[in-house]
Structure 1
Amino acid sequence: MKPDSHVDTPVSGKNIAQTFVTSKVTRCLLEWRLFFSLAICATIFYLQFLANANPESYSVGYDRWTGLANHCSDAQPINGSEILQRQENLAKILYDNGASAYIAEPGANAQYFGNISEATWHLSERPLLLIIFPILEEANIVAKVTVITPAFEETRARRLSVPGIEVSYVSWAEDEDPYTVALHALSALELEGPIYVDGMMRYFIVDGLQKAAPGVRIMSAPPEVTQLRARKSQAELDLLRCANEVTLLCIRAVQAQMYIGIRESQVRAMIDEALAAAGLTERWALVLFGENAALPHGSGSDRTLDKADFILIDAGGRLFEYNSDVTRTFVLHDSSIPLEHTTIWYDVHVAQTLAHAAAREGANTSAVDKAARDWLDGRGYKGYFTHRLGHGIGLEDHEAPYLRGGTDDTIRTGNAFSNEPGIYIEGKVGIRLEDCFYINGDGNSVFLTKGVGGQALSPLYP
């Protein structure tokens, strides 16, 4: 059905599974290519089976937020030995490329290689720098670590617990140039070759380093370095999995507390409360009702929920610095949704399923976006899927690589992405479904929410 057409027939939340039977028959009659036909029919069969199953099996079962705290109670932060392995991997790349060192300031990359995050060291005009450089010792490449710190902050810097086989701290006084001090620490080791810097490093620091060493090439770290963080370890995937699972459980718990007439702001407070009970930090939530959801990142208003409204919740947080990002668009049992909007929901669900099937080791990132976009375009929604399909997720909630048209990255095992197709018809409706996934050792995509059911079952059962 075209997005600009209008159908007045309402569909109640209780009968929403029956509504899909009609759309199932319609879809399976479409003359699509063999791959799409098989994927669509399989998806429809699966959804119909689950949507007609006992609804009690999908109930949250929590008394308010009781029980959410237990879901990730066994989660553990990344240990020092894993960070040492990361440093060794980086040192080998530096050595093979003839690079002198890698420099990062507090943030995701310094956290990955040295356990220095923005949460533990606030960025300011006074630079604190993590430097990792390779040393050849008895035919082995060893990573050495130096932390450049303001002199009056040296004691605090030493308390950061930076892992390393050998970690040294070099301080700079207020009347010294920190960049000259940093380069002097490197030149004392008689290293040669370019210096790689964190691609997100602030410009004034890069400029300061270059002015301190005009004869040295200061350049952004190459793909070999950035791919280290892009390919998650099992420990990282365990944290991502638990964070995303419990975020979905929070959304379901909030749905059970909602009612017609509730305000968006009330639901935002509820989801934050649930995420906090689950143990997540750096929490955030986007809650949009009805036509407000047609603006993907919010409308700035605070309206009440009507029976004819879909509810969109996009939420996340951090578990030991690893992020979750889950979106559900759903209804309540006493909702009465226009058939047109219900049809859009199922079309978005099929798009998400097709993208998931296309995401494999060796696939091109743009091809995964195309799998979802081609389906939605063919269903008459061309121009209404207004953003990329997905982004990488890990220490940052949005990080490389990205699933979007125009990219040419190859998907690798250990990569983790969001898969979030959506249709946005301003003034009418916005529907987005988002689950993050990773590529396992067999090269297949696995939803990070699989342990708690994975994809939404239907509009009524998110």
Structure 2
Amino acid sequence: MGQPAQVPSRTPQLEPNSKNRTRLWLLIPLLCFISLSTLRLGLVGPLTQRSQPASTEPAFPDLPRHCTAIPPISSSVLEARRNTLAKRLHQLGAAAYIAEPSSSAAYYFNVSEAHWRLSERPLLFVVTPSVDGVSDEGDVTANVSLLTPKFEATRAKLLPLSPSAYIQWAEEEDPFAVLFDALHLPSNSTVYIDGNARFFVADGLQRALPRGQVQNAPPQVVEIRERKTPEEISILRCANEATLLAIRATHKRMHIGMHESDARELVAGALAAVGLERAGCLTLFGENAALPHGSGTNRVLKKEDFALFDCTGQLHGYWSDVTRTLALPESSIPDDHLAIWHHVHAAQSLARLATYPGALTNHPDIVARARLALDGYGPFFTHRLGHGIGLDVHESPYLRGVPVSQATLIQTGHTFSNEPGVYIEGKVGVRLEDCMVVEEGASYATFLTAGVGGAALSPWEP
């Protein structure tokens, strides 16, 4: 048998002459550049591992999620709230209560702006009282209706709410007239709207009910949400404790020479680690803190500087609000600045003792202001003492030095911030803030942070 025929090669052979060798040397740098660029762009995998995998070590390993055992508000509590509202409407002779997506809608219906963004097309939640019986002595319960744009009806039915009726309005219709027609309200009815409702909604409702009255919900209705239940207090307490724990953990990691932005990023990590949502922190060093709501200048922390942290975060929709003005172990705070810190601390302590059932809401503010005035710092306490807190960071009632005729009574279930401050522009700012609750059987308010130590002990012990 003979050998197979030789097949000529299709690849031309380079002859080892000097000209080809020169071309090869010129190609080598180009090939190296292409290979490196390809690796950088990720077009091919690297031949060796270029870096270690990201660390899975938590940023704050000493900060476990503080509130995992605290449940959200249950559906039965939401139903009880609506029935309480219906009873109050019936007592006041009102035919309905109307709210847009808001914190009030979250309180009664578990729907906020996070579920439904406000637009020019109104989506309205309505409670009407239903009396079970032939007389006014019958049991009063809440009927819930939802007014929705017709083309949005399917999406509206996905909201975490099961109303008695979905009322749909078409683009060519007056939504407010459609609502009242569907509810069959008497033409001379009184209708309450939530204080957060927009003007065009209130105006449209009034035009659709010309013989009736459309007015903001009165204090008897507003106080239902103002006075917190044990379930709400439990959530608020844990949220404020968690916030304070995050500030303390941040304090331990700070150092002289860091920037405001570094501290802000650090405390944001701590707030996330402790399990709060939508958290943030106003972070101001030195004289920047003399502007109570300043934005900072990314100032470097100096030995003679206080650092002010004003932090908030959410737990099951409820807010925390805690402020600490603190110093580091290596700080050298001027004596007059330290004196201001202790004056503010004393004012905060006295204001808590002045917050009790039956006192007027201006009383704690007057007491704290008098204490700072006695020390010569009255003119530098430039804002109110406190605000209510719950589903809004700032909500009624407020602790401020208004005339007696404008003040209201402090009642059990009220929760307030207590935040006196001294602000001397160009020099120093000091604010201390703990939220507090007025509970049944207590002689005065207790701090919501008491479970983790409560108020600061010193600038070095926040």
TM-score range, shorter chain: 0.7 to 0.9
Q: For 1:27-426, what aligned pairs fall within 5 Å after superposition?
A: 64-138=59-133, 139-162=138-161, 167-187=164-184, 193-406=189-402, 407-426=406-425
CA distance in 2 between counterparts of 1:192 and 1:458 reads 61
CA distance in 2 between counterparts of 1:357 and 1:378 reads 18
Structure 1 residue 167: deviation in Å? 2.2
Q: Name 2:445's counterpart in structure 1.
A: 445
**TM-superposition CA deviations, 1:308-359 (whole Å, max 9, x none):** 0001000011101000000000000000010000011001000000000100
Structure 1 residue 135: deviation in Å? 1.0
Structure 1 residue 63: deviation in Å? 7.6
**TM-superposition CA deviations, 1:210-262 (whole Å, max 9, x none):** 11121110000010100000000011001100100000000001111100000
Structure 1 residue 81: deviation in Å? 0.5
Normalising to structure 2: TM-score of the pair?
A: 0.84
Deviates more, 1:379-388 or 1:294-303: 294-303
**TM-superposition CA deviations, 1:58-100 (whole Å, max 9, x none):** xxxx984224342111121111111111111111111111111
Q: Name 2:40's counterpart in structure 1.
A: none
Preserved contact between residue 60 and residue 273 of structure 2 (Cα < 8 Å): yes
Preserved contact between residue 68 and residue 246 of structure 1 (Cα < 8 Å): no
**TM-superposition CA deviations, 1:273-293 (whole Å, max 9, x none):** 111122211212100001000
Preserved contact between residue 64 and residue 257 of structure 1 (Cα < 8 Å): no
CA distance in 1 between counterparts of 2:84 and 2:58 reads 47
Normalising to structure 1: TM-score of the pair?
A: 0.84
Amino acid at match of 2:114: A
SS of structure 1 residue aligned to 2:362: helix
For structure 2, the 5+ residue unaligned runs are 1-56
CA RMSD of aligned residues (A): 1.4
Amino acid at match of 1:459: P
**TM-superposition CA deviations, 1:432-462 (whole Å, max 9, x none):** 0000000011143110000000000111010
> Higher relative contact order by CA 8 Å / sep ≥ 6: 1 or 2?
1
CA distance in 1 between counterparts of 2:357 and 2:371 reads 22
Structure 1 residue 191: deviation in Å? 8.1
SS of structure 2 residue aligned to 1:160: coil
Deviates more, 1:239-248 or 1:192-201: 192-201
SS of structure 1 residue aligned to 2:392: coil
Preserved contact between residue 316 and residue 325 of structure 1 (Cα < 8 Å): yes
CA distance in 2 between counterparts of 1:150 and 1:221 reads 25
Preserved contact between residue 280 and residue 319 of structure 1 (Cα < 8 Å): yes
CA distance in 2 between counterparts of 1:284 and 1:63 reads 19
CA distance in 1 between counterparts of 2:64 and 2:171 reads 46
SS of structure 1 residue aligned to 2:368: helix
SS of structure 2 residue aligned to 1:141: strand
Preserved contact between residue 264 and residue 288 of structure 1 (Cα < 8 Å): yes
Preserved contact between residue 187 and residue 211 of structure 2 (Cα < 8 Å): no
Amino acid at match of 2:461: Y
Structure 1 residue 137: deviation in Å? 1.2
CA distance in 2 between counterparts of 1:128 and 1:85 reads 23
Structure 1 residue 158: deviation in Å? 1.4
CA distance in 1 between counterparts of 2:104 and 2:295 reads 33
Amino acid at match of 1:171: Q
Structure 1 residue 192: deviation in Å? 5.6
**TM-superposition CA deviations, 1:404-436 (whole Å, max 9, x none):** 011411000000000000000011100000000
Structure 1 residue 161: deviation in Å? 1.9
Amino acid at match of 1:452: V
CA distance in 1 between counterparts of 2:238 and 2:392 reads 16
| Same amino acid, percent of matched pairs | 51
Preserved contact between residue 99 and residue 192 of structure 1 (Cα < 8 Å): no
Deviates more, 1:69-78 or 1:191-200: 191-200
Q: Name 2:35's counterpart in structure 1.
A: none
CA distance in 2 between counterparts of 1:434 and 1:250 reads 15
The 3 A distance-change label for structure 1 pair 66 and 167 is farther
Preserved contact between residue 243 and residue 318 of structure 1 (Cα < 8 Å): yes
Preserved contact between residue 344 and residue 431 of structure 1 (Cα < 8 Å): yes
Preserved contact between residue 187 and residue 210 of structure 2 (Cα < 8 Å): no
Preserved contact between residue 101 and residue 124 of structure 2 (Cα < 8 Å): yes
CA distance in 2 between counterparts of 1:357 and 1:112 reads 30
Amino acid at match of 1:80: S
Amino acid at match of 2:154: T
CA distance in 2 between counterparts of 1:459 and 1:63 reads 27
Preserved contact between residue 59 and residue 273 of structure 2 (Cα < 8 Å): no
CA distance in 2 between counterparts of 1:324 and 1:445 reads 17
Amino acid at match of 1:438: V
